[in-house]
Structure 1
Amino acid sequence: MANHVSSLKRARQTERKTAVNRANKSRVRGSLRLLREAIAKGDVTAINEQFKQTVSALDKSVQKGVLHGNTASRYKSRLAARVKAVAVKKTA
């Protein structure tokens, strides 16, 4: 355990930042899960609405430093392809 005042402060700061990062990461994972469930159901309007919310959550997580920018871009690209595939499948 830390003994110096500065290291005690650092430990407190780390706990707070860890809690914030965990909450942000949990929000992103939950949003991704909801989108995947909507895709599985096949409701196009629900998919489009959830896709907007998921992309927003991913972008916010990049701004906050929870996810790397390229990671979020990869998620968005793959999810967009799945959303498009469902839309094309419904019209065909």
Structure 2
Amino acid sequence: MAHSLSAKKRIRQNIRSRAVNRWRKRSYREAIKEYHELILHGSVEQCEAKLTEIYKVLDQTASTSAMHKKTASRYKGRLAVKLNKKKAA
């Protein structure tokens, strides 16, 4: 257990930042799940619109400490490949 005031404050800050980071990760993961459903059952136009939304969410998450920018780039590339396969089919 923390004894000093600064250590107690750090615990409070960690709790808040963990909650925010979990919210950010949950938001992009839910968006990606919706995108996968659209890839299976939706039209190409719907998929393109959803992909731009996901790009925004990933870029916003990558601008914080919740995700590295190269991780966001990797997600975006893989999602774009799925859209291109749907367009080709």
TM-score by length of 2: 0.94
Question: What corresponds to 1:69 in structure 2?
Answer: 69
- What is the letter of the counterpart of residue 11 of structure 2? A
CA positional deviation for 1:42: 3.8
Question: What corresponds to 1:28 in structure 2?
Answer: 28
Question: What corresponds to 1:18 in structure 2?
Answer: 18
For structure 1, the residue ranges without an aligned partner over 5 or more in a row are none
- What is the letter of the counterpart of residue 62 of structure 2? V
Contact 1:47 1:83 in 2 (8 A): yes
- What is the letter of the counterpart of residue 76 of structure 2? K
TM-score by length of 1: 0.91
* SS of residue paired to 1:87: helix
How far apart in 1 are the matches of 2:52 and 2:65? Answer: 20
- What is the letter of the counterpart of residue 2 of structure 2? A
CA RMSD of aligned residues (A): 0.9
Give the paired residue count.
89
Shift >6 Å, 4+ stretches: none
Question: What corresponds to 1:50 in structure 2?
Answer: 50
